[in-house]
Amino acid sequence: MSNSPSCDSCGRPHGAWATDRLTLLLDRWGWDAQAQEILAASQSTALVIVDLDNFKRVNDRYGHVAGDAVLKAVADTLRHSTRKGDLLGRYGGHGGDEFLVLLPETDMHDAMIVADRIRQDIRATVVPAPTDGGTVRINRVTASFGVSVGNPGTDLEALVVEADAALRHAKRTGRDRVRAPSRRSMRMPAAILAAGAAVGLIVVSLVGDTPRVEQVAAEPSTELGIAPQLPTVTLPPVTVPTTVTMTATVPPPKPQAPVVRQQPKRPAQTPGAPTAPASEEQQPTPRELEKPSPTPAPCRVCDLMDAAISDYMRFLPTR
C-alpha cells in the first residue's frame, strides 16, 4: 500500500491489472482497492487530487509523445515528493492528466503543506521531450490541487467528491494553486440516522404565505420503551405588502366675488338735439373677434389631482 511498484506486505510486484503502464503508478482500480484499507486504518487521511493545467496545449504544440514525457516526469516528481507509505495513482484512465495522492495519518494543515511542495516541484520540472523538429525542453509545467481529509468512517467516494470540488475551485480561481473544500459536507453516521428515524420526523410545509415548521412525533419505539413528547413550533405569519395606497388632501376652493357687469354709459343729450332711436345691442367688430379668448384661471383642485395621479403612475410596473 505505497507508491512503490511492489506490495509492502509480501514484496511481490503489483499485477498488470493494477498498474498504469506509462507512469508505473497504480491505475484507478488498483488505487481504489488499496485506498479503502488505508482510510479505515488511519485516524486522519488526506486525499490530494493533482490536475495538470492546460495539458492539451502540450499535446497540440509538441505532440502526444511529448505529452507522455510530461506525464512520466510528473509521476517521478510525485514519488520523490511523498513518503513511501503514501498511495499514488493515475486518475482518469490511460488518457488522463490527473493523479491521486493518499496521505495516511495526515491532517488538513499538513496536507496543504505537502500539496504546495508538490506544486512547486512540478513547476520547477524541466522535461526534455522528442518532437519532429528535435528534442525540446518543456518548462513551466503547472498543476492545480484539491485537498480533502477523512477518517475511518468516511466513504472513499465522498472523500474524492470533496477533493474534486476543491480542485475545480482552484481551476476557477486561476490555476497553479492548492484549495481545500470551502464548506465541509455533513457526514451523518448511520447510527444517528437510525436514532432520528426512531425519535421523530421533521416536516416542513408552506401554507399560503405563512411558512410553518412542525415536528411530528413518530410511533413510540417498542425497543426503547419510551414515547417521546415533541413540541410543536409555529413561526409567526409573514405578510408582504403588495398594494400602495396614496391619499391626497384637497383644500376647499375659496369663494370668488361675483362679477358685476357694468352697463355702458350713454352720452348726455344736448337740449334740443334730436333723440337717436333706440338701437339693438352693439355687435362686436371683426377686430374684436380675432382676439384670443382669455386664459381660464388656474384651479388648485385640478392641479392637486393631476399631481397625485402622476405620482401614483410611477409606482405601477412598466410593461
Q: Which of 94, 101, 92 is nearest to 45 (CA)?
A: 101
Contacts of residue 153, Cβ cutoff 8 Å, sequence gap at least 6: 187, 189
* DSSP3 helix / strand / coil % (the chain, rounded to 5): 35, 20, 50
Per-residue pLDDT tens over the stretch 112-153? 999 999 999 999 999 999 999 899 999 989 999 999 999 999
CA–CA gap between residue 275 and residue 235 (Å, rounded):
100
Say what the pLDDT of residue 220 is: 41
The mean per-residue pLDDT over the stretch 107-113 comes to: 97
The mean per-residue pLDDT over the stretch 207-230 comes to: 41
What DSSP line would sit under 81-93, residue for residue? HS-TTSEEEEESS
| Positions of E strands within the chain | 45-52, 87-91, 98-103, 127-131, 134-138, 143-150, 178-179, 200-207, 210-217
CA–CA gap between residue 196 and residue 72 (Å, rounded):
50
Q: Which of 55, 48, 49 is nearest to 69 (CA)?
A: 55
Say what the pLDDT of residue 194 is: 45
Calculate the CA dihedral of residues 102, 105, 108, 112 and round it to 10 degrees: -60
- 56 has pLDDT over 90: yes
pLDDT bracket for residue 234 (50, 70, 90): low
First and final C-alpha spacing in the chain: 67
Say what the pLDDT of residue 203 is: 32
Contacts of residue 116, Cβ cutoff 8 Å, sequence gap at least 6: 145, 178
DSSP 8-class letter at 134: E
Q: Retrieve residue 187's grid coordinates.
A: 457526514
CA–CA gap between residue 238 and residue 43 (Å, rounded):
48
Q: Which of 173, 163, 119 is nearest to 141 (CA)?
A: 119
Domain-by-domain residue ranges, the chain?
16-179
Q: Retrieve residue 295's grid coordinates.
A: 386664459
Q: Which of 122, 154, 158, 126 is nearest to 50 (CA)?
A: 122
Top pLDDT among 64 and 228 is at 64
CA–CA gap between residue 227 and residue 198 (Å, rounded):
10
Say what the pLDDT of residue 302 is: 75
CATH superfamily of 16-179: Reverse transcriptase/Diguanylate cyclase domain (3.30.70.270)
pLDDT bracket for residue 219 (50, 70, 90): very low
Calculate the CA dihedral of residues 75, 81, 86, 91 and round it to 10 degrees: -30
CA–CA gap between residue 235 and residue 268 (Å, rounded):
95
Q: Contact at 8 Å (CB) between 20 and 90?
A: yes
**Dihedral sign computed on CA atoms, order 190, 195, 197, 203:** negative
CA–CA gap between residue 29 and residue 41 (Å, rounded):
19
pTM: 0.56
Highest mean pLDDT among 38-52, 218-232, 272-286: 38-52
pLDDT bracket for residue 172 (50, 70, 90): very high
Mean pLDDT of the chain: 75
